[in-house]
């Protein structure tokens, strides 16, 4: 069995798998950020409305609800920021993991063979590892 070809297939599997895995997580986190942002907007709007009503009439229930809307707004902002951090991490992993897999594969090929021949180009010659053994 050709070790280069096995390593190449493993590298392709890691690259495609990481793109699908981290890309899916990234897309889901971005959707969550969008949902949290709409909650932030809604809470902010309600909080501002409650504050305006409270300024007009100090005895209204709006003054009591202002604190509740403020807490809701703070929780929504915290959730959005937490989800944004996750989305940023997944975005970084989408780019880094495939790049690291490619670098490690070609570094290993260079260490074993002394050449950086890409395996994507197929030819009818024998493997670089088996050429010196004949």
User: What is the rounded CA–CA span in Å between residue 101 and residue 11?
Assistant: 6
Q: What are the boundaries of each domain within the chain?
A: 7-95
49-106 pLDDT tens trace? 888 888 888 777 777 778 888 888 899 999 999 999 999 999 999 999 999 988 888 8
User: What is the rounded CA–CA span in Å between residue 66 and residue 45?
Assistant: 11
- The predicted model gives 103-114 an average pLDDT of 82
pTM (predicted TM-score): 0.69
3-state SS of the chain? CCHHHHHHHHHHHHHHHHHHHHHHHHHHHHHHHHHHHHHHHHHHHHHHHHHHHHHHCCCCCHHHHHHHHHHHHHHHHHHHHHHHHHHHHHHHHHHHHHHHHHHHHHHHHHHHHCCCCCCCCCCCCCCHHHHCCC
User: What is the rounded CA–CA span in Å between residue 120 and residue 73?
Assistant: 53
């Amino acid at each position: 069995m050709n070790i280069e070809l096995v390593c190449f297939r493993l590298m392709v599997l890691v690259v495609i798998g990481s793109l699908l895995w981290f890309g899916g997580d990234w897309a889901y986190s971005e959707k969550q950020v969008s949902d949290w942002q709409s909650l932030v907007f809604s809470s902010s709007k309600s909080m501002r409305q409650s504050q305006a009503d409270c300024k007009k009439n100090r005895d209204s229930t709006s003054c009591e609800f202002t604190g509740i809307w403020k807490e809701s707004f703070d929780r929504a902002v915290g959730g959005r920021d937490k989800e944004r951090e996750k989305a940023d991490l997944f975005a970084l992993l989408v780019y880094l993991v495939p790049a690291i897999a490619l670098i490690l594969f070609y570094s290993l090929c260079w260490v074993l063979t002394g050449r950086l021949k890409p395996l994507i180009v197929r030819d009818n010659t024998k493997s670089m590892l088996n050429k010196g053994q004949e």
